[in-house]
Each structure stands twice: as structure tokens, then as C-alpha cells.
Amino acid sequence: MTTILKFLPEGEPFYTDDNISDLPTKFFVGEMVREKIFDFFEEEIPYHTTVLVQEFTEKSTLIKIRADIIVHRETQKAIILGEGGKMIKKIGTEARKDIETFLQRKIFLELFVKVRPKWRENEVHLKEYGYN
């Protein structure tokens, strides 16, 4: 290793010290919402969902985030929403806490559940949702 290091040119770092990734903040926000779906649901639901952050607007007092939770079927949508919206509220509340800690700012989080049948088999949807 010492021999190799002698021949490598020294250069500027690719990222500044405060960067934790080359992925956008919206990616991490979506993953924090998706993490709550994994925490609260079992079986197929978490594996058939993705989260698409539609809006990320920094205002003077808070950050407004609007995200869609994408599922395969209407039955999955009903499960995510829960009776009287109980589960979507729980997902939003818990995700908001984690996102506020991550961003170190107050946020307003708005979640919607949308059905996109077979989105995981559709190339257009996969690209739109950030999968290659």
C-alpha cells in the first residue's frame, strides 16, 4: 500500500467535509418516510412501496415537504391509510421527527398515498421514481 500511495497524485477532495453523500436531501427524506413504513408494516407492504418527494420548499420558518407514497394496489393504499387515517398520520408524525433531526429545521410534512399498479415492472415509473 505504501508503494502505491507514493505514485498516486494528491488532489482536491471530491466532497467538502460536511457532505455525507452525493445523493440529494430529497432522497434521504423519502427514505426516512419509507423507513417508517418498514417499521409499522410487515409482509409485502414495505416491499411494494416507494416514496417520491414532490415538493421540498425552504421557507423562512420551516421546510415544506410534500411526498407521495406509491403502492401497487388499492388494498395496500387502505392499509397504509389505516382506519380513519390513523396509520398515515402515525407514519407522518414519526417521519417528521426524524427528518427534523436530520435537517435541523422545523418541517411541515404532507403525505399522500397513490396507487400505481405494477409500478415495479414499468420502466417509465421506475425511472420517474429514481430507479435505474
Instruction: Please give the Cα distance from 115 to 104 (Å, whole number).
Output: 32
Predicted model pTM: 0.79
Determine if residue 43 is left, alpha or beta; phi over 0 gives left, psi from -120 to 50 gives alpha, anything else beta.
Answer: left
> pLDDT per residue over 47-74, tens digit each?
788 899 999 999 999 999 999 999 989 9
pLDDT band at 19 (very low <50, low <70, confident <90, very high): low
Torsion angle, alpha carbons of 44, 47, 49, 52, to 10: 170
> pLDDT per residue over 60-113, tens digit each?
999 999 999 999 899 999 999 999 999 999 999 999 999 999 999 999 999 999
Instruction: Please give the Cα distance from 106 to 60 (Å, whole number).
Output: 10
What is the predicted pLDDT for the residue at 1?
Answer: 86
3 state SS of 2: helix
Query: For residues 48 and 91, is the Cβ–Cβ distance under 8 A?
Result: no
